[in-house]
Amino acid sequence: MSFPQAFVDPSSVAVVGATEDRAKWGYWLATGALAGADRRQVWLVNRRAAQVLGQSCRPTVDDLPQAPDLVALCVPSRDVLPVVRDALAKGCRAFLSITAGLGADEAELAALLRESDARLIGPNSLGLFNAATELRLAWGNFTPGRLAIVSQSGQLGSEIAGLGARAGLGVSRFYSVGNQLDVGAVDVLESLVSDEHTGTVALYLESFADGARIVTALGALRRAGKHALVLTTGASEGSRLLARSHTGSMTSALDVVDAACRAAGALRVATPRELVDAARVLDATAPPGGRRVAIISDSGGQGGIAADIAGDRGLRTPVFTEPLQARLRDLLSNAAAAVSNPVDLAGAGEADLQLYARVTELVAASGEVDSIVLSGYLGCYGEDSPSLKDAESAVIDRLGRRPRTDASHVPLIVHSMSAASPAVARLREHRVPVFDTIDAALGALGHVTRLGGQPRPAPLTVRTEAAVPAPGYWAARTFLTALGIAMPEARRVTDAAGFAAACASLRPPLVLKADWIAHKSEHQAVRTGLGPDTAAAVFREMYERLGPGEYVVEEQDTRPGVVELLIGARRDRDFGPTVTVGHGGVLAELWHDVCVELAPVDRRTAAGMLDRLRSRRLLDGWRGQPAVDLDALIDAVVAVSEAIAATTGLADIEVNPIRVGPEGALAVEALVIPRAEDVVAQAACEATGVNGHRETTEEQEASREHVH
């Protein structure tokens, strides 16, 4: 269902519950609607007043001369259903419900809307705003600009708008989607893809029931040249309690949100302030192509602090090459100046303010960095010394005139000790992002730099759906081996004679496992290091203890220089299939060194996952060991990711550890868990759209119903 034009540029609006009481919503929506009265018909509806704000008023929607294109509801909660019924009868098909607290009436409202093919934003919306169409149905005022705000929490949306306004960043559209009874955030996102007035999208959501569709919409925004910044909660027990959701797995819900953002070319930020700071940079410049930043300051102290904070925010301050340093030395005759990065003008700026521009241009042209930060006194010279005012304006104009559209453009960010000097205002006019703390400048740059990539294209090859394996280790082995993942030579046995025969055909040391026990270590259902003299006794002991059943005897991997990792795959309730790789073995849970992505992943994404591990260095050869077989490891990650994506009957695949040496990767323990029956039944239709997270599935629709 497409997004109704009535929520974008309605031909007529009725505000039901319009009033002159400034403490009430009906006042703000009525004044806001009237501000667009030269563009569209505006009706005010109030059961008791004949006039509101100098406009004549009708008691009900039915009394209006025709059906309004959009009906805004600011009435007591008990009146919502009657008013909607009345309006539907009149022919209205689009509603905005500021009113909240409908309780049991929500279900009836939903049914009414469905029957009539009508759409509603809310209940519990804090309104909507569209600068381009002069549509203002919200509390407060908005500064027009290029940031679209889509928020499940109206107040957080307002906070973002307020912080933006204070920093000179305006709003293109504002949609507070409230309880999302009908219209969801994802509907709004989809409608923004083609909005020429929107440059950056701010999204606040507490739950991602429409996860797969949201990823698709965010990816479409990115491909349309717009950036999306995502704010959510769930990093703490407190916020999870508050959101009444909890996942008790190795990867937190936020890890998966981050993975979804990476897949879509979007970025998660942690606070409204981080969001607005990043949006300010995006409003002025494209994201840098990489993490290398040059720091230019007129104070060694400030340059040093900036370099430290850059590192903390994921940026690098590479030492300049000798030729660049030599050219900078020529420029800065000052003996106290530093030229290696950070550059410290050490007072040279005061003598010749053009040096700020000359150094910036030289560094930008060098190709040695992807972005430049000026930190310190620029912006204060003219304020403190009137004689320097013109020179400061001149250098700011020169900095502001740098081209920002060519491919080689190196973005410039300024931290000025002055918050609001005329020079700072002039930087803003030139659309140079300027911040009053180095924390904000580098925080924003760090975030924006992570947006440099494009959305990840869906891998083309997805295996055809495999049968869900039977329970037990042997079946898991067979399943993984079919995926191309190497496992040790093994035999199935059920008695001592079979065990002896198996041992004779395998190379010791051997490992004995009870096939049917999932958590083998806890139940002493695995024994390693079996040699010819001990094997029989070990089998006897385990058989007597655990009883008859299928046992697996395996060759033990004793290769030297092996690193243990884990590969996992899980079907996330919101976002669908995911794959995880991390440091494995007995301390995996302690170090929690894992990386998760939406599945399936291609080889390049899998390699990127390994690069993000803190234990990455182990794979390159630790303490003089040879490097491990990365290709084999990457193959295994890709294979597991494709398996979870293609095999809709699977809930979970765990390979821990997978032992990777200089030659090959060997999975030595594995668990494959099917989905609970009822879930599988719901998801049957998913098999057609096999690349999981790119589609909305009925299952996800169903789970959305569960959540709300």
Of residues 183-242, which lie at the interface with a copy of itself (CB under 8 A)?
A: 204, 206, 231, 233-239, 241-242
Our CB check for a copy of itself shows the closer of 65 and 248 to be 248
First to last CA, the chain: 20
State the minimum distance, in angstroms, from the CB of residue 226 to a copy of itself: 23
73 — phi, psi (to 5°)? -105, 115
State the minimum distance, in angstroms, from the CB of residue 236 to a copy of itself: 4
> Is residue 417 at the binding interface for a copy of itself, with CB under 8 A as the rule?
yes
Site for a copy of itself in 48-67 (CB under 8 A): none
> Which pairing describes strands 563-572 and 576-583: parallel, antiparallel, or unpaired?
antiparallel
One of 59, 91, 101, 367 touching a copy of itself (CB under 8 A): 101
One of 49, 53, 362, 388 touching a copy of itself (CB under 8 A): 388
State the minimum distance, in angstroms, from the CB of residue 242 to a copy of itself: 5
One of 14, 150, 163, 553 touching a copy of itself (CB under 8 A): 163
Our CB check for a copy of itself shows the closer of 4 and 379 to be 379
> Is residue 321 at the binding interface for a copy of itself, with CB under 8 A as the rule?
no
Our CB check for a copy of itself shows the closer of 535 and 588 to be 588
> Is residue 151 at the binding interface for a copy of itself, with CB under 8 A as the rule?
yes
Q: Count Cα atoms within 13 angstroms, Cβ side, for 308.
A: 6
State the minimum distance, in angstroms, from the CB of residue 140 to a copy of itself: 7
State the minimum distance, in angstroms, from the CB of residue 124 to a copy of itself: 9
Site for a copy of itself in 438-457 (CB under 8 A): 438-440
The residue type at 70: L
Our CB check for a copy of itself shows the closer of 525 and 639 to be 525
Q: Residue 534: CB partners within 8 Å, gap ≥ 6?
A: none
One of 168, 304, 662, 674 touching a copy of itself (CB under 8 A): 304
Q: Choose one: 222-230, 382-390, 400-408, 573-581; the region binding a copy of itself (CB under 8 A).
A: 382-390
Count residues contacting a copy of itself (CB under 8 A)? Answer: 93
**Rounded to whole angstroms, how far apart are CA atoms 607 and 601?**
10
Q: What would you measure as the largest C-alpha separation in the chain, in angstroms?
A: 101
Site for a copy of itself in 418-437 (CB under 8 A): 418-419, 436-437
> Is residue 317 at the binding interface for a copy of itself, with CB under 8 A as the rule?
yes
**Rounded to whole angstroms, how far apart are CA atoms 112 and 96?**
15
Buried b (16+ CB within 10 A) or exposed e, 608-632: bbbeebeeeebbeeeeeeeebbeeb
Q: Residue 150: CB partners within 8 Å, gap ≥ 6?
A: 157, 175, 177, 185, 188, 189, 192, 201, 202, 203, 204
> Is residue 134 at the binding interface for a copy of itself, with CB under 8 A as the rule?
no
**Rounded to whole angstroms, how far apart are CA atoms 102 and 259?**
35
**Rounded to whole angstroms, how far apart are CA atoms 639 and 670?**
14
Our CB check for a copy of itself shows the closer of 232 and 578 to be 232
> Is residue 344 at the binding interface for a copy of itself, with CB under 8 A as the rule?
yes
**Rounded to whole angstroms, how far apart are CA atoms 672 and 651?**
8
> Is residue 394 at the binding interface for a copy of itself, with CB under 8 A as the rule?
no
One of 111, 504, 537, 586 touching a copy of itself (CB under 8 A): 586
**Rounded to whole angstroms, how far apart are CA atoms 353 and 364?**
18
| Structure-derived torsion over alpha carbons of residues 314, 320, 324, 327, reported in degrees to the nearest 10 | 100
Give the residues across from 552 on adjacent strands: 492, 513
> Is residue 143 at the binding interface for a copy of itself, with CB under 8 A as the rule?
no
One of 85, 140, 361, 630 touching a copy of itself (CB under 8 A): 140
Any idea which residue has 């630790």 for tokens? 622
One of 303, 433, 582, 692 touching a copy of itself (CB under 8 A): 303
Buried b (16+ CB within 10 A) or exposed e, 540-562: eebbeeeeeeebbbbbebeeebb
Site for a copy of itself in 512-571 (CB under 8 A): 521-522
> Is residue 322 at the binding interface for a copy of itself, with CB under 8 A as the rule?
no
Our CB check for a copy of itself shows the closer of 7 and 28 to be 28
Any idea which residue has 């990777």 for tokens? 660
One of 55, 60, 249, 271 touching a copy of itself (CB under 8 A): 271
> Is residue 302 at the binding interface for a copy of itself, with CB under 8 A as the rule?
yes
**Rounded to whole angstroms, how far apart are CA atoms 110 and 302?**
58
Our CB check for a copy of itself shows the closer of 177 and 668 to be 177
Query: Which two tokens mark 153?
Result: 């929490």
